[in-house]
Structure 1
Amino acid sequence: MSESRPHNTSGTLVVGTFLTLDGVMQAPGGPDEDRDGGFEHGGWTVNYWDEKMGETMDEQFAEADALLLGRKTYEIFAAHWPNVDSEGDPVATKLNDMPKYVASRTLDGVEWNNSTLLSGDVAVAVEDLKKERGDVLMVQGSHNLIQTLLAHDLVDEFWLWVFPLVLGDGKRLFGDGTIPAALELTDVKTSGTGVQMLRFERAGEIDYGSFALDDVTE
């Protein structure tokens, strides 16, 4: 089993993800967002949104300094957010203006304002980016990219919004390549619709133990 390496980078890489109770993160925003694998449950977050969730979203995006995206999520965002009236919408304003880095082996270029296409090995490029920027780099969506980041132990914090439903199938946040790590719960908010907005930070190695009774010899 792989052991977590010490984090010596100066930046903070945050994974911000919407999840079902059984860990699915696929296509939260609409039926046609991601039908890979025949997924038919897209849009499962839409009817849970309330004012508190909107306020929390504004707060979290205000903390992020730059965005890191995989190809599919970049294309979804780039087709949507530039067309949103940003007046009175801090998330739209932030997304359209902030630096965005895109990890893709198939895109030749990126046109959304202030976007940069990462080249070469993704894990190396992201680790270098964390060191160069030294601030908060947030990942949204981007399932395949997150699996690479988890496998290379590059994630420092998780901002997870857990919705009160199960889907049974779909792409899950934590895949087989995830490196074991202990986490500390640093903040909890609950929406009026039962969505848990959780924040976790890395907390070193897992401290294993056992509830087994000691052998008793007579």
Structure 2
Amino acid sequence: MKKIRAGLFISLDGVVEAPDQWHFPYFNDEMGAAVGSQLDGADTLLLGRRTYDSFAGAWPDRETAGDEDAGFAKTLGDLRKIVVSHQPLQFTWRNSEQLRGDLVEAVTALKHEPGDGLIGMSGSVSIVRQLLSAGLLDELHLLVHPIAVRSGMRLFEEGGPSIPLRLLTSQTFSTGVLNLVYAPTTPAGDAGYEEARTHLPQT
């Protein structure tokens, strides 16, 4: 079965909206390597329409320009790209197609396609939320920036059931950015202060 890995830039206060307005001062070789590694083994990209439009408006031109990011642009272009949208779409970026039908049902079918490859995601916050809630996301990569943006859409909306996660790996960059990788897990269980106080320092 294929796995789904999502990567997001996120601020210390949970903002994921418009990272281009606050994350670039923290972008260094460490972050570039982390972003690239999120696509290691991927044969497919799953994207929301807005993220796709942003990518398609930039990466094909960067590939053509032949600058230092042309290799990464070619990697994105060569991947199969599946776009989630309720509106009919026309594509100019190669290897692009539209996801048909119900999101959860269609993504479940994608995961069960032949092979054990990886489906990568970048941005596309609303889709990440839905896949987390449906138990379809296998890894959540968060690049946590040491800044409180103070406004904008957060990754997790208020309301709804809790989503337990377990930390797979962590890394601290020289900029103070935390590279955290989570996976879904079972709830920690019920506990209160009576259970917790046994772990407090005894005087």
- Relative to the length of structure 2, the TM-score reads 0.85
CA displacement at 1:25 relative to structure 2: 0.4
In the other structure, the counterpart of 1:97 is: 78
CA displacement at 1:109 relative to structure 2: 2.6
Q: Distance in 2 between matches of 1:74 and 1:178?
A: 28
Q: Match of 1:160, SS? A: strand
Greater alpha carbon shift after TM alignment, 51-60 vs 173-182: 173-182
Q: Match of 2:57, SS? A: helix
Q: Distance in 1 between matches of 2:195 and 2:157?
A: 33
Q: Distance in 1 between matches of 2:164 and 2:133?
A: 15
Greater alpha carbon shift after TM alignment, 158-167 vs 90-99: 90-99
Q: Distance in 2 between matches of 1:82 and 1:161?
A: 25
Q: Distance in 2 between matches of 1:162 and 1:94?
A: 25
Pick from 7, 16, 19: which aligns with 1:16? 7
**Which residue identity lines up with residue 190 of structure 2 in the other structure?**
Y
Residue 110 of structure 1 pairs with residue 101 of structure 2: no
Q: Match of 1:132, SS? A: coil
Residue 70 of structure 1 pairs with residue 42 of structure 2: no
Change (3 A) 1:186 1:213: closer
Residue 123 of structure 1 pairs with residue 114 of structure 2: no
In the other structure, the counterpart of 1:44 is: 22
Percent identical residues: 34
Q: Distance in 2 between matches of 1:177 and 1:113?
A: 39
Please report the RMSD computed on the Cα atoms of aligned residues, expressed in angstroms: 2.1
Structure 1 or 2: more helix by fraction: 2
Structure 1, unpaired ranges of 5+: 1-9, 30-42
Change (3 A) 1:96 1:207: same
Deviations 1:155-190 (A, max 9, x none): 121100000011222111122466434322121122
Change (3 A) 1:107 1:46: farther
- Relative to the length of structure 1, the TM-score reads 0.79
Change (3 A) 1:155 1:178: farther
CA displacement at 1:148 relative to structure 2: 2.4
Structure 2, unpaired ranges of 5+: 197-203
CA displacement at 1:96 relative to structure 2: 1.1
CA displacement at 1:88 relative to structure 2: 4.9
1:151-166 matches, within 5 Å, as: 151-166=133-148
